[in-house]
Structure 1
Amino acid sequence: MENISYANLTAEQTLNAADQSPQFLDIFHQHTAESYSLAIDQAKEMVLKFLENQQKPFSGITPLQLGEQFNKIEFDVPLASYDELFKEVQGLYVDHATAFHLPNYIAHLNCPVVIPALAAEVLISAINSSQDTWDQSAGGTLIERRLIHWTAHQIGFGDRADGVFTGGGSQSNLMGLLLARDCFALNRLNHNIKVDGNPPEASRFRVFVSDKSHFSNQKNASLLGLGEQGVMQVETDSRFKMKSDALEEAILNELELGNIPFAIVATAGTTDFGNVDPLEAISALAAKYKLWMHVDAAYGCGLLLTDQHKYLLKGIEKADSVTIDYHKSFFQPISSSAFIVRDKNSLEIIRHHADYLNPKEQDYEEYPAQINKSITQSTRRFDALKLWFTLRLLGREKLGEYMDAIISTAKEAADLINRDPELELLSESDISVLVFRYRSLKLKHVDLCALNQYIKKKMFHTGEVLVASTKVNGSFYLKFTIFNPITTVNDIKNILGIIKTYGAAYPEQ
């Protein structure tokens, strides 16, 4: 049977057409509300069972074991019903999905999510607005703009601030480095990179980051044609924060070599240690040497929510641009991030016009288009609605309380580790990441790296506790990322007890 278009049919004709053409019953439209409702109800039941049945953060399954099940899937043979589909996905995905909401998940920067944001996800996926132009998302455009301005105000930026929602922190960091490079080239070298590509001097462009900054800085420098060689890693102090005196020394050294410093990336919440670089001192150096200052606050942005700990971000208001990950410290589902600039004029450098989408002659004060501020996304989800739901129902203060709880638990956990002779804490944390290792008092001649790798592997394959790990100066350490306000000190004690149990059972070589 040929495909039928519903465009010119009456409601009665449309119903008859749907009855005669079952292939259209799978499309979301005004006559498939019942089908939609049944599918969503079954998805909801699966989520509720996940909450009810998931007792540990991971099943412990290996890629080889799970991969065997995928080899049996044949996409050319569709399943007969939603019942069969959900049953299949239960075994392939849900049974082995990592449960970030459980207190024994304490590994990476994955937060539990707030319920209002989950309600917003239903609207986002069904209505399926695209955030590039006004005619594709009218109210959505204004919601996103309002949240960007609210976030800018929390940072301390003035009325000239602007920004856009992005897919994640790495993308926001890319935008920061791109604007830093392009604005420098345009204003200092009279060279338009957007039109003419990198200038000959680009091989000498230098950006400064701490040696504990996010790896996206190196990747982004490579993408921008500067190469990883353009990223200068600055020494950190005993708390693994960028040393401002070392930063200035690095800047002067590059100038002496004939290179061209153009930007500094400060980190507000390092992935490995949860610490904040000295933003005020860095901003002073950025001003002194006329460098763009970008702050990667993908993790530390949650400090904006808490009056008790917001002081840790003092100096962020002097940045030229800031990365925000709402899907970390604002407890939002992935993805929900933003890139914010202090001066909206800096975004003009990335605007590109297409006659079919955002023509040059359009009045963007009258009909705003968020695509004018985006570098890698035209079609873009309405992720801002999740944050709108969250702030309007919970408010900044409640989210701030969650951040305060996380920070408090991390401090108590650090105290527990410090007081235990079998554990060694490497550094205190401004936020909630603790790097430490087990050091047995009974095992005299043991490789501590191998011992702690053994502990992590044992816990991972039982799935009872998920912790992260890292290497510092070549040595292996366990890592707690405390990112759940529900996690208590008793949970921490229990996890430390499990670590010590496995450590004590380690076979001495």
Structure 2
Amino acid sequence: MNSVLAADARDTVGVGADSLAGGAGGPAALAPLLAVALRAMAAGAERRGGPLPAGGAAGVAAAVAAALDGDPLPEYGVGAAEAITAVAGVLTAGTADPADPRCAGHLHCPPLAVAVAAEVVAGALNPSLDSWDQGPSATALEPWVIRSLAGLVGYPADAAGVLTSGGTESNLMGLLLARDAAVEKLTGRSAAAHGVGAAGRRLRIFCSEVAHFSVRRNAALLGLGEDSVVAVAADAAYRMDPGALADQLAATVRDGLVPAAVVATAGTTDFGSIDPLRDVAAVAHRYGAWSHVDAAFGGGALFSDRLAGLLDGLSRADSVALDLHKLGWQPVAAGVFLAGAAQALRPLARRVAYLNPADDEAAGYPSLLGHSLRTTRRVDALKVAVTFRALGRHGIGRLVDACHDLAGHAAARVDADDRLELAVPPVLTTVVFRYRTDAARVDKVNAELRRRLLRGGAAVIGRTEIDGAVWLKLTLLNPHATTADVDALLDLVRAAGDAVTETTA
């Protein structure tokens, strides 16, 4: 950097914008900038004044453009303090704040402060998990976290896994391993080396009709096509019907096709419903299919003594997806993929001369390169390990139980209100309901009352559909919210519904 630009980059806290966050001097360089960032957050939250900014999308977009002065990459820098104050401030002022009890629209948790503090350390040190010499301690740390989570699931000591970007990536890994196992069984050849070929056109994937959309999208990414996914009927509680699954698997085999995978769900996005995991795995294995469980939402029940029984049979699955940035209160990303046996990850194995040469591994320098679909990977295990050590299983379980209690309270309150209607009793922490009005207007009123709350910055509530009809949804992931907070949120919904009804023809 030349002297003019270097001088231009200096800021009011006396730290250069080009200072490094790591190394022996890293903390000294980082501390004053963190103070600036925290002040910007506080000011931005005060400007927002609620769970999200008022004014809608256009107002937020205009504020972001103004903070960037129309160009995020000017010819000359404004300095670290000014940049942080403006950009972090506008992000905070314009965000949806999951720590606000009125922000309950999605599986978007308020992260624990202890996890965020650990995240700062991970960002400052910036290790990468694609080779031992880029992250020695990180390479040693992640397997400990994986073993702990595998034990929670009930997997044996030789289970394996990896931290992922979330449930979508974890589901992709499960389906990839299922596809490769099925192709190799059919052809005796490795799908990774030779492709899926004609065998791929015979493969079928089965999941509940209310499973996550990533199952179909991932099937397309794997070259199988979305049409390879067969939707299995769910019961009145939105759980996969094992009998219907068995019938469809039998019909598939009769047609000369191959059941490659069965994806069960432990915690559907809308209803929190949990498929009968033990029965589903038994049916899948009877037909030689890989059993994968998408427990991105419901996996948090494992921390709770009260709710862990809902996941009975989880350990029978060949692989499992978890998300600790849901009922684990971690900053994004904190997804987890687990396989019941380490050998299951064999299709991911890679030998790269500049990352994991065989003689280095033989000399005791391990590599996690063959555990992931990614090469460069952050040490997301740090925040998880710090949180686990800080709270323990019981501490995290208490947070899960608190959110479950809030959902029970919300459901009871909805059920007792003559202007609100409950869809189904909650299983985990989601409550699906709607504002009651006449049949001709009910969808329009519920859709508009939600937008009314968003425009005013009053609340973030979710929306879904049941049989084509519009319903509302509370996803309660704030363990520090109170029953009074839930009551106030439902009061806002009812008031918005009353207002919209008066103006809707």
Q: TM-score, normalised by structure 2?
A: 0.92
Q: How does 1:228-307 map to 2 (within 5 A)?
A: 228-307=226-305
Which residue of the other structure, out of 482, 491, 495, is the alignment partner of 1:501?
495
Q: Is the 8 A contact 1:25 1:32 kept in 2?
A: no
The CA deviation at 1:23 is 8.0
Q: What is the aligned partner in structure 2 of residue 47 from structure 1? A: 41
Q: Which residue identity lines up with residue 241 of structure 1 in the other structure?
A: R
Q: Is the 8 A contact 1:297 1:323 kept in 2?
A: yes
Q: Which residue identity lines up with residue 452 of structure 2 in the other structure?
A: K
Q: Is the 8 A contact 1:468 1:478 kept in 2?
A: yes
1:483 aligns with 2:480: no
Secondary structure of 1:280's counterpart equals helix
Q: Is the 8 A contact 2:304 2:397 kept in 1?
A: yes
CA 1:404 to 1:2, structure 2 compared with 1: closer, same or farther past 3 Å? Answer: closer
CA 1:45 to 1:364, structure 2 compared with 1: closer, same or farther past 3 Å? Answer: farther
Q: How does 1:23-62 map to 2 (within 5 A)?
A: 25-28=18-21, 29-30=23-24, 34-49=28-43, 55-62=49-56
Q: TM-score, normalised by structure 1?
A: 0.91
Q: Which residue identity lines up with residue 356 of structure 2 in the other structure?
A: N
CA 1:422 to 1:226, structure 2 compared with 1: closer, same or farther past 3 Å? Answer: same
Q: Is the 8 A contact 2:43 2:89 kept in 1?
A: no
Q: Which residue identity lines up with residue 232 of structure 1 in the other structure?
A: V
Structure 2: tracts of 5 or more residues without a match: 4-14
Q: What is the aligned partner in structure 1 of residue 355 from structure 2? A: 357
Secondary structure of 2:396's counterpart equals helix
Q: What is the aligned partner in structure 2 of residue 431 from structure 1? A: 428
Stretch deviating more after TM superposition (100-109 or 56-65):
56-65
Q: Is the 8 A contact 1:191 1:199 kept in 2?
A: no
Q: What is the aligned partner in structure 2 of residue 211 from structure 1? A: 209
Secondary structure of 1:394's counterpart equals helix
The CA deviation at 1:64 is 2.7
Q: How does 1:8-157 map to 2 (within 5 A)?
A: 25-28=18-21, 29-30=23-24, 34-49=28-43, 55-69=49-63, 70=65, 72-74=69-71, 75-90=73-88, 92-157=90-155
Q: Is the 8 A contact 2:200 2:224 kept in 1?
A: yes
Q: Distance in 2 between matches of 1:322 and 1:381?
A: 21
The CA deviation at 1:76 is 2.5
CA 1:393 to 1:68, structure 2 compared with 1: closer, same or farther past 3 Å? Answer: closer
User: Percent of aligned pairs with the same residue?
Assistant: 33
Q: What is the aligned partner in structure 2 of residue 344 from structure 1? A: 342
1:387 aligns with 2:384: yes
Stretch deviating more after TM superposition (289-298 or 45-54):
45-54
Q: Distance in 2 between matches of 1:243 and 1:24?
A: 58
Secondary structure of 2:326's counterpart equals helix
Q: What is the aligned partner in structure 2 of residue 6 from structure 1? A: none
Q: What is the aligned partner in structure 2 of residue 366 from structure 1? A: 364
Q: Which residue identity lines up with residue 412 of structure 1 in the other structure?
A: H
Q: What is the aligned partner in structure 2 of residue 7 from structure 1? A: none
Secondary structure of 2:361's counterpart equals coil
Q: What is the aligned partner in structure 2 of residue 13 from structure 1? A: none
The CA deviation at 1:364 is 6.0
Superposed CA deviations along residues 361-396 of structure 1, whole A, max 9, x for unmatched, are: 443692221111111x11111110001111111111
CA 1:366 to 1:418, structure 2 compared with 1: closer, same or farther past 3 Å? Answer: same
Q: Which residue identity lines up with residue 464 of structure 2 in the other structure?
A: T
The CA deviation at 1:188 is 4.0
Q: Distance in 2 between matches of 1:324 and 1:477?
A: 27
CA 1:59 to 1:117, structure 2 compared with 1: closer, same or farther past 3 Å? Answer: same
The CA deviation at 1:334 is 0.7
Q: Distance in 1 between matches of 2:481 and 2:494?
A: 19
Q: Which residue identity lines up with residue 388 of structure 2 in the other structure?
A: L
Q: Distance in 1 between matches of 2:85 and 2:127?
A: 30
Q: Which residue identity lines up with residue 361 of structure 2 in the other structure?
A: D
Q: Distance in 1 between matches of 2:431 and 2:493?
A: 14
Q: What is the aligned partner in structure 1 of residue 160 from structure 2? A: 162
Secondary structure of 1:339's counterpart equals strand
Secondary structure of 2:421's counterpart equals strand
Q: Distance in 2 between matches of 1:103 and 1:381?
A: 30
The CA deviation at 1:467 is 0.1
Q: Distance in 1 between matches of 2:148 and 2:350?
A: 26
1:463 aligns with 2:461: no
Task: Let me know the Cα RMSD of the aligned residues.
Answer: 2.0
The CA deviation at 1:290 is 1.6
Q: Distance in 2 between matches of 1:304 and 1:394?
A: 15
Q: Distance in 2 between matches of 1:107 and 1:175?
A: 28
Q: What is the aligned partner in structure 1 of residue 415 from structure 2? A: 418
Q: Distance in 1 between matches of 2:20 and 2:383?
A: 25
Q: Which residue identity lines up with residue 385 of structure 2 in the other structure?
A: W
Q: What is the aligned partner in structure 2 of residue 198 from structure 1? A: 196
Q: Is the 8 A contact 1:445 1:508 kept in 2?
A: no
The CA deviation at 1:30 is 4.6
The CA deviation at 1:184 is 1.8
The CA deviation at 1:401 is 0.4
1:450 aligns with 2:444: yes
Q: Is the 8 A contact 1:234 1:246 kept in 2?
A: yes
Secondary structure of 1:213's counterpart equals coil
The CA deviation at 1:52 is 6.1
CA 1:301 to 1:318, structure 2 compared with 1: closer, same or farther past 3 Å? Answer: same
Q: What is the aligned partner in structure 2 of residue 399 from structure 1? A: 396
Q: Distance in 1 between matches of 2:229 and 2:362?
A: 36
Q: What is the aligned partner in structure 2 of residue 175 from structure 1? A: 173
Q: Is the 8 A contact 1:54 1:99 kept in 2?
A: no
Secondary structure of 2:432's counterpart equals strand
Q: Which residue identity lines up with residue 26 of structure 1 in the other structure?
A: S
The CA deviation at 1:51 is 5.8
Q: Which residue identity lines up with residue 276 of structure 1 in the other structure?
A: I
Q: Distance in 1 between matches of 2:456 and 2:218?
A: 37
Q: Distance in 2 between matches of 1:64 and 1:55?
A: 18
CA 1:52 to 1:64, structure 2 compared with 1: closer, same or farther past 3 Å? Answer: closer
Q: Which residue identity lines up with residue 476 of structure 1 in the other structure?
A: V
The CA deviation at 1:2 is 7.0
Count of residues paired in the alignment:
487
Q: Which residue identity lines up with residue 252 of structure 1 in the other structure?
A: A
